[in-house]
Amino acid sequence: MITRRQISAAHSLIAARLRRTPTFDVAVREATPVTLKLEQLQHTGSFKPRGAFVNLLGNDIPAVGVAAASGGNHGAAVAYAAAELGIAARIFVPAKTPPAKLALIRSYGAEIVQEGERYAAAFELCRAYAESSGALLIHAYDSPQTIAGQGTVALELEEQAPDLDTVLVAVGGGGLIAGVAAWYSSGLRIVSVEPETCPTLERALAAGCPVDVAPSGIAADSLGASRIGVLPFSLAQPYVDHCVLVTEHAIADAQAWLWNNLRIVVEPGGATAFAAIASGVYQASPRERIGVVICGANTDLATFSGRIGKQSSARQEAVE
């Protein structure tokens, strides 16, 4: 199990390499108070550099460098951290990885291998390369060092908003919610939020163990793991209060709300946890203080503006 002491040590190791992302308080749905942790402002546009730096600074790196499989954000984080430390990186991504995320990875000088329909296929190629070459494989979520790094989000959030009752976290492979769960343990309510089309944790908790799902939908490039990680599941099972599933429409609406009200650009996965509040799927109790991690901003601006335009048009038609 990952402990608060390990997360504190991870934060000390990587703090100089990170931005301490701010929090922002908003009122949503009949003045429900919500504290947003703005991790989309982190280097590379997501929380992922936290785990990447813990892995790179906490290990002896072979001459061949490091390897990672990713839907985009983890790959960009590893590429960025490797570039900062002068380490070679090879990133394996699925064939349908969005061009904006490919361009971001490429901008940090990493070599990209784009092959396989989904993340799971890219990971198998990455693992085979690491085994044959000796490169250090940096797992996106199923690794103690990665989880400890992602847990530093919760360490900062507790310092910035110490009176929270509940924290909502989007889930893909589970690294972020595992780190949050490890930090808070039973100290407050932790709620997982997943797209209806990618319910890795919800299905695992129902089955009592990680099981395969077939991820799809607008958030699958960042939340599209085929199953929850073994280590994330072991932390989520005792500490996650319950799971909430949100629709594609709710995620798009949450993106639109964040832009229209706060001028925050987020990718669908980054808006997923907030979608639970904005849509009313998560019903807050009176005076409940809620924290939400806004976890990623890496979206193609043309796609983003088109989606926001559709949501605005739909609202206007409903009013008329």
pLDDT tens-digit series, residues 192-235: 999 999 999 999 999 999 999 999 999 988 898 999 999 999 99
DSSP 196: T
**CA max distance for the chain:** 64
CATH topology for the 4-46+150-318 domain = Rossmann fold (3.40.50)
What pLDDT is attached to residue 96?
Answer: 87
How far is the C-alpha of 270 from the C-alpha of 263, rounded, in Å?
A: 14
What pLDDT is attached to residue 310?
Answer: 67
Name the token pair of 169: 């976290």
Give yes or no for a contact between 261 and 182, defined as CB atoms under 8 angstroms apart: no
What pLDDT is attached to residue 117?
Answer: 86
What pLDDT is attached to residue 316?
Answer: 44
Give yes or no for a contact between 139 and 173, defined as CB atoms under 8 angstroms apart: no
How far is the C-alpha of 217 from the C-alpha of 78, rounded, in Å?
A: 25
Spans of the chain, pLDDT less than 50: 316-320
How far is the C-alpha of 248 from the C-alpha of 275, rounded, in Å?
A: 10
Nearest to 167 by CA among 37, 50, 271, 254: 37
What pLDDT is attached to residue 320?
Answer: 41
Q: Which residues contact 62 (CB under 8 A, 6 or more apart)?
A: 134, 135, 136
How far is the C-alpha of 306 from the C-alpha of 163, rounded, in Å?
A: 38
| CATH 3.40.50.1100 segments of the chain | 4-46+150-318, 49-137
CATH 3.30.310.80 is held by the domain 49-137 = no
How far is the C-alpha of 235 from the C-alpha of 146, rounded, in Å?
A: 14
What pLDDT is attached to residue 317?
Answer: 47
Torsion of CA 59, 63, 64, 69, to 10 degrees: 10
